[in-house]
Amino acid sequence: MRPILRSRSVALIDARATPIQEITPAGLRTSGAEYELDSIVFATGYDAMTGALCNIDIRGRGGTSLQQKWSTGPRTVDAENAWVAHVSEVANYTLFPRANSWYMGANIPGKPRVFMPYIGGAGVYRQKCAEIAANGYEGFALSA
């Protein structure tokens, strides 16, 4: 048996090419080999980014739930739409939007395909935050 975890390295197994067939007393068996494991972490199907927030019953004006508000993606006011467009523009310079992955919500049926983490760099992000603050928190509706 070849272990999936070694003391200083990790062996990645393509579960599509060699699907898991059985959990065994010592680990698991795929169609290609048996692996002795100390633990197994199943991390598929989770709803990344907005999933945890949409599972909380957060309600806004008129009783609209956050899940309803974000049914087409995480956005509300014009400033948020501009931010989502900017995040998408930056992401499109990478392969992330082309991947059928949880980063794009592809593992959740019916979830809009929207790239949410900002990958334009911490410096650019801080600069954008400073600009918004310098302009009186432009795009935010603040009240006492």
| Mean pLDDT for the stretch of residues 48-69 | 86
Q: What is the pLDDT of residue 29?
A: 93
* Residues 55, 76, 100: CA angle, nearest 5 degrees: 60
Q: What is the pLDDT of residue 11?
A: 66
Q: Which of 43-47, 108-112, 121-125, 136-140 is the least confident region?
A: 43-47
Which of 51-60, 71-80, 91-100 has maximum average pLDDT?
A: 91-100
How far is it, in rounded angstroms, from Cα 28 to Cα 35? Answer: 5
Q: What is the pLDDT of residue 124?
A: 93
Q: Which of 12-16, 63-67, 88-92 is the least confident region?
A: 12-16
pLDDT tens-place string over residues 19-43: 999 999 988 899 999 988 887 777 7
| Mean pLDDT for the stretch of residues 38-65 | 82
**Comparison of pLDDT for 143 and 113, the residue scoring more:** 113
- Bridge partners of 27? 24, 36
- In the structure, what pLDDT confidence band is assigned to residue 8 with cuts at 50, 70 and 90? very low
Question: pTM to 2 decimals?
Answer: 0.55
Tell whether the model's pLDDT for residue 86 goes beyond 60. Answer: yes
- Bridge partners of 29? 22, 34
Q: What is the pLDDT of residue 6?
A: 47
Cβ neighbors of 76 (< 8 A, separation 6 or more) are 69
Percent residues over pLDDT 70 in the chain: 89
